[in-house]
Amino acid sequence: TSITSAKIQVNGVHLHYQQTGEGSHAVLLLPGMLGSGQTDFGPQLKFMNKQLFTIVAWDPRGYGQSIPPSRDFPPDFFERDAKDAVDLMQALKFKKFSLLGWSDGGITALIAAAKYPTLIHKLVVWGANASVTQEDVRIYNGIRDVSKWSEKVKKPLEEMYGHKYFAKTCEAWVDGISYFAEKSDGNICQQLLPDIKCPTFIIHGEKDPLVPQAHAEYIHKHIKGSRLLLMPEGKHNLHLRFAEDFNRQVEDFL
């Protein structure tokens, strides 16, 4: 099945999305920091079951092809993304849908599932966290300077954004996410986790250098009835590196 690419106006911005499959079960893929459907979900758009699922991958505002506007990080940027994501799916006429969120997209998905429970069918998150610790801030500052990134990770993003926008947005993200650590409990969305009522599957790579395992365990503990899968060899991008295994696990769950 081909992958269509289009834009639709949502909450005053033109959001870009890719769509494929004709299944009755709609699934939204939510990318990570600086991510887009194109950079973050190639193996999912290509290989997930097109008979069972209709798959939508979106570019959050200021990311991918959803520019303009330029990306910014106000204190409520995760809530804003969650509302944009849900409103996008409604604009596309999906009454109920599942969320697959990676990294920042996982945080967005947690918030969306908690705030819009009647719309969300099932939830899968990986590489996500509900709070920011001082240790996390140290890790984020380690990736602040994009010139130090590996070529493999850097190249697709530089091609998409140009070096200047990519570098500037990464720095702004580090500042934006570090803001949460200034609160007494580092909270992003901890208080919302008990409100998530849909079936939830949390996946974590045991070798994830960006998100310590304690975050996945915390989310699992606070979402009633959720399932946690640890992938011993998985890093942050386990859905790309181990796409076949990941897709199978997720399809079985959905």
Phi, psi of 69 (to 5 degrees): -80, 165
Q: Which segments of 15-57 does DSSP mark as H helices, in order?
A: 37-40, 42-47
User: Catalytic residue among 40, 104, 136, 208, which?
Assistant: 208
Give CA–CA dist 219/107, Å, rounded: 10
Joined together, the tokens standing for residue 155 give 């190249």
Residue 163 bears catalytic tag: no
Give CA–CA dist 212/209, Å, rounded: 7
**CB neighbourhood size of 92 (10 A):** 18
- Degrees, nearest 5: CA angle 157-159-162: 85
Going across the sheet that includes 25-30, the strands are 4-10, 13-20, 53-59, 25-30, 97-102, 120-126, 200-205, 227-231
Give CA–CA dist 235/232, Å, rounded: 9
User: Catalytic residue among 103, 131, 178, 226, which?
Assistant: 103
Residue 36 bears catalytic tag: no
- Whether omega before 69 lies within 30 degrees of 0, making that bond cis, reads yes
Residue 5 bears catalytic tag: no
User: Catalytic residue among 16, 25, 236, 239, which?
Assistant: 236
Q: What residues are annotated to the active site?
A: 103, 208, 236
